[in-house]
Amino acid sequence: MTLWEEIHEQPEVLRRVLAGSATQVAAVAAEFERVRPAFVLVAARGTSDNAARYAKYLWGARNRIPVALAAPSLFTAYDAPPRLDGAFVVGISQSGESPDLVAVIDRARTQGRPTVAITAHPDSPLARAAARCIVLDSGEERAVAATKTYTAQLAVIAALSCALRGDGKALEGIPEAVAEVLDASGSIAAAASIFVEDDFAAVVGRGFNYSTTFEWALKLQELAGILAHPYSAADFEHGPLALVSRGFPVLAVAPLGATHPRLLRLLDRLSGELGARLGIVSDDERTLALGEAAIPVPSVPEWVSPIVAVVATQLFTHHLTVARGLDPDRPRTIGKVTRTI
């Protein structure tokens, strides 16, 4: 199966994952309520690390739970795992194969902490190491670049948040919103063509979609051969803004929500005073009008918008990769499963 096909599977995958994981999600939520941890520690790498960034904002904002991202090297290379008193430890991995993530879960269990794996492979080392597992029924993902397993991870993270809040129907309609994005592939291809000659770009976003900026940048690096760097829009104003001159390529994820007003002011300055060339993913017409490349997405609640917005960035990157004469199914020098220690 090609990357293009896997991108287009996502509405059905989301329906299947949300339905199929409901019992496991409820069990993890019940364990969480029983333990009442002081914080959550999430171990992940690559694309899954971007899902962890989403969890940091989502569980923090909607569930008021502090979330930290693990430094796996402390558990492996340095053999100096931190004390995890009060932690609920979550490992996220498409393959469940990376030894450093397994090490985090192993050490957490040694310290008597509750552990959960979120993975597409229930027989993987990560799943076996954790006390509980939420299995992503996403089907086999053959493309090197993760797409449907990433949105499946986001959906499970969102479902856990909903289970803890008792609003189980809050994710209804998300698969349909993703399908609407896929129907706009032609216009997204036109937007991507504006950046076909660029070898670098800044990618900015904030809040829940901080994760989307990282994931978009990663896909541009993996597939399109573009040195894309992700930034919090706030951090971008604290120094990297000095890089921008007329024509400098900036990609932005800017749906309506709590962080949108400040991001809109930044985009207005980039477009006007600084003359940057903008590609913008948004559900707001005024924001889209600032970009040379406008990528509209359906309007959904801000906290769930990363599931929808990232699909637009996947299509953008696929079209851009092809336009640059590269094969999105054969990225250079990387494979599907990466095992780091």
For residues 11 and 150, state if they share a domain.
Answer: yes
Residue 332 pLDDT level (bands cut at 50, 70, 90): confident
Residue 92 and residue 52: Cα distance in Å, rounded?
A: 7
The yes-or-no verdict on residue 205 having pLDDT over 60 is yes
Neighbours of 167 (CB within 10 A): 11
* 329 belongs to a structural domain: no
Q: Are 42 and 67 in contact (CB under 8 A)?
A: yes
Whole-number Å distance between alpha carbons of 44 and 8: 25
Are residue 146 and residue 179 in the same domain, yes or no?
Answer: no
| Average pLDDT, integer, range 40-50 | 97
- pLDDT at 341 > cutoff 70: no
Residues 139 and 23 in one domain: yes
Question: HSE-up of 103 (CA within 13 Å, CB side)?
Answer: 20
Neighbouring residues of 213: CB distance < 8 A, sequence distance ≥ 6: 203, 204, 205, 230, 231, 232, 253
The residue out of 165, 185, 204 marking a domain boundary is: 165
Least confident of 141-145, 169-173, 273-277: 141-145
The answer on 295 and 219 residing in a single domain is yes
Same domain, 310 and 215: yes
Asked whether residue 334 is assigned to any structural domain, the reply reads no
Q: Taking residues 102-120, report their average pLDDT.
A: 97
Residue 89 predicted with pLDDT over 90: yes
Q: Would you say residue 238 lies in a domain?
A: yes
In a domain, residue 341? The reply is: no
Question: Looking at residue 142, what is its pLDDT?
Answer: 86
Tell whether 328 is covered by a domain. Answer: no
**What pTM, to 2 d.p., does this model score?**
0.96
Residues 117 and 137 in one domain: yes
* Model confidence at 337: pLDDT above 70: no
Residues 6 or more apart from 330 whose CB is under 8 A from it? Answer: 144
For the chain, the average pLDDT equals 95
Total structural domains within the chain? 2
Which pLDDT belongs to residue 140?
Answer: 85
Domain span including residue 103: 3-165
Find the mean pLDDT for residues 229-257: 96
CATH of the domain at 49: 3.40.50.10490
Position 336 in a domain: no
Residue after which a domain boundary falls, among 139, 165, 191: 165
Whether 113 is in a domain gets the answer yes
**Does 31 reside within a domain?**
yes
